[in-house]
Structure 1
Amino acid sequence: MNPLDTVFWLLNFPAAHGYAMVFIAGFSILGLFAMSTAGGVVRRTASLRSVREREGLAVAEARPRGEVGGRILRIVFRVLAFLMLANLVIGILSLTGVPLTRAYIYENGVPTTGTKDGDWVTFTTSSGVEYTIESNFFTPAVYPDRDAYLSGEQVVVRYLPGHPQAFVIDSTQGPR
């Protein structure tokens, strides 16, 4: 399995689901960034703890609990927020017609004949496994001419050998 194929397979998911990805990422980024900056709450709690200790209302702890776990959690939320931001950018570019992953799949993909039924494409790989995958209206899996009208239900599909879920419909040729 080619590592570059795996990278493009992972990038292809937000590109193939651009409309949904824009809404999911758009609504989740703000919350993820807010969770990643929750350090202010910990600092306020630490100052409240010091006031209580000074007034004799609380027992002084040797080490404040939760600081390490809180830092790790904030780092995790920051990483997730930046991943969702990247998915948002990929989704927007895909909706505007930029072929982020389509050109690579087209150049390195294995051609086969498939059928198109509405928004669904069915094809069989060289290993004999049949796949039925969505190619929706907003981010169609068609390359090089994204706006090509595909008449009939027979199409030529190019897929990555190690990751058949990453595919494009070849708009330059008809079925073989």
Structure 2
Amino acid sequence: MNILDTLIWLINFPAAHGYAMVFIAGFSILGLFAMSASGSAPGVSIRRVREREGLLHGEAATRGQAVGTARRIVFRILAFVMLANLVIGIVSLTGVPITRAYIHEHGQPTTGTVDGDWVTFTTSSGVEYTIESNFFTPAVYPDRDAYLPSGEPVVIRYLPGHPQAFVIDSSRGPR
């Protein structure tokens, strides 16, 4: 499996669901950054009182600090991942083909059909996929605004290792 294909596949999810990703990331990012603050771990204020009064022994204090530090690191990583998803979603909503150009260039062509917001195609291994092509971030490349009649055959390009990453090729008709 190609590492770059896997990276494009991972980035394609927030790019293909831009509208939902903007709302999910927008509302969760503040909470994730708040949880990554030093005083946000449960029991921090009582631990500080116990340390000040000398009621907390050295080993328990170190263990509590290690768990708090690990928790803050995890929440910071999650916050930055959501921030990246927010940026990818916004850029995708504006029409920039973040992953579509790569998938179009390196994807394997097949014939499929479009039925409303759903695309159905069969891979070379014989597996049939029915995947959403969102109205706000359609999986169409190079002409994002191309008219695609429902039920008519279209050319689909998908990454062989990750068929969920696909584009509808608007430059050519079916073969």
| Distance across 1 between alignment mates of 2:3 and 2:82 | 22
Higher mean alpha-carbon deviation, 143-152 vs 11-20, is at 143-152
For the pair shown, the structure with the greater C-alpha radius of gyration is 1
With the length of structure 1 as denominator, give the TM-score of the two structures: 0.92
| Distance across 2 between alignment mates of 1:148 and 1:67 | 56
The answer for unaligned runs of 5 or more in structure 1 is: 54-58
The verdict on how the C-alpha distance between 1:117 and 1:60 changes in structure 2, with shifts beyond 3 A counting, is closer
| Distance across 2 between alignment mates of 1:28 and 1:20 | 12
Partner of 1:39, secondary structure, is coil
| Distance across 1 between alignment mates of 2:56 and 2:107 | 64
Give yes or no for the alignment of 1:175 onto 2:171: no
State how 1:79-98 maps to structure 2 within 5 Å: 79-98=77-96
Displacement after TM superposition at 1:150 (Å): 1.2
Displacement after TM superposition at 1:96 (Å): 0.4
Give yes or no for the alignment of 1:157 onto 2:156: yes
2:115–2:150 contact (8 Å) kept in structure 1: no
1:39–1:70 contact (8 Å) kept in structure 2: no
Equivalent position to 2:57, from 61, 73, 79: 61
| Distance across 2 between alignment mates of 1:36 and 1:124 | 44
Q: Residue in 1 aligned with 2:127?
A: 129
Q: Residue in 2 aligned with 1:49?
A: 50
**How many residues align structurally?**
171
| Distance across 1 between alignment mates of 2:39 and 2:93 | 36
Partner of 1:157, secondary structure, is strand
Q: CA RMSD in A?
A: 1.5
Partner of 1:15, secondary structure, is helix
Displacement after TM superposition at 1:45 (Å): 3.8
The verdict on how the C-alpha distance between 1:48 and 1:159 changes in structure 2, with shifts beyond 3 A counting, is same
Displacement after TM superposition at 1:62 (Å): 2.7
Give the AA of the match of 1:162.
Answer: G
Q: Residue in 1 aligned with 2:105?
A: 107
| Distance across 2 between alignment mates of 1:92 and 1:15 | 8
Displacement after TM superposition at 1:84 (Å): 0.1
| Distance across 1 between alignment mates of 2:121 and 2:17 | 19
| Distance across 2 between alignment mates of 1:173 and 1:40 | 55
| Distance across 1 between alignment mates of 2:77 and 2:114 | 38
The answer for unaligned runs of 5 or more in structure 2 is: none
Percent identity of equivalent pairs: 73
Runs (4+) of structure 1 moved beyond 4 Å?
40-44
| Distance across 2 between alignment mates of 1:169 and 1:23 | 26
Displacement after TM superposition at 1:136 (Å): 1.2
Cα displacement string for residues 129-174 of structure 1 (whole angstroms, at most 9, x for unaligned residues): 0000000100000000001111242111000010000000000111
2:114–2:149 contact (8 Å) kept in structure 1: no
State how 1:27-38 maps to structure 2 within 5 Å: 27-38=27-38
Displacement after TM superposition at 1:60 (Å): 4.4
| Distance across 1 between alignment mates of 2:81 and 2:106 | 26
| Distance across 2 between alignment mates of 1:115 and 1:30 | 40
| Distance across 2 between alignment mates of 1:47 and 1:167 | 53
